[in-house]
Amino acid sequence: MKQNQLFPFSLILSYLLISACANDLEEVKKVAQLADVNVELGTEVVIDYTEYGKLRAKLNTPILKRYVAVDQRSEFPNGMHLVIYGDNGRIENTLDAKFELSMTCSIL
């Protein structure tokens, strides 16, 4: 008897799920044209550079754009802050930049 009561409910639920997945093809094409699949975008990025388990540098940036196409590069359009650590773990140097462009995949 319970199975007979659940059937209409499951039928309605199935209909709602199937009808909710409809997309307008033209809208999908517009969104696909706007998206640049060759750019990785990160916000509030913190990158730790280590060597043999020791922290060597720490990079902070509000926005990181990494281009992965033919001309691989990393771009920091809103600047960056880099802290370089010595062997003893103390800060040796700092670097602040308003704009940074790295033409290779490696920043350091």
Report the distance separating Cα 98 and Cα 81, nearest Å: 9
Is 51 a member of any domain? Answer: yes
Is 72 a member of any domain? Answer: yes
Is 107 a member of any domain? Answer: no
Record the tokens describing residue 29, joined without a space: 């094409």
pTM above 0.85, yes or no: no
Is 108 a member of any domain? Answer: no
Expressed as residue numbers, the domain containing 93 is 2-102
Question: Strands, E, within the chain: which ranges?
Answer: 39-51, 54-67, 73-76, 80-85, 91-97, 100-102
Is 48 a member of any domain? Answer: yes
Residue whose C-alpha is closest to residue 55's, from 76, 85, 80, 75 = 85
Number of domains in the chain: 1
Q: Tens place of pLDDT for every residue, the chain, 108 residues?
A: 455 666 666 767 666 666 655 566 777 666 666 666 678 888 999 999 999 999 999 999 999 988 887 778 888 889 999 999 999 999 999 999 888 777 664 444
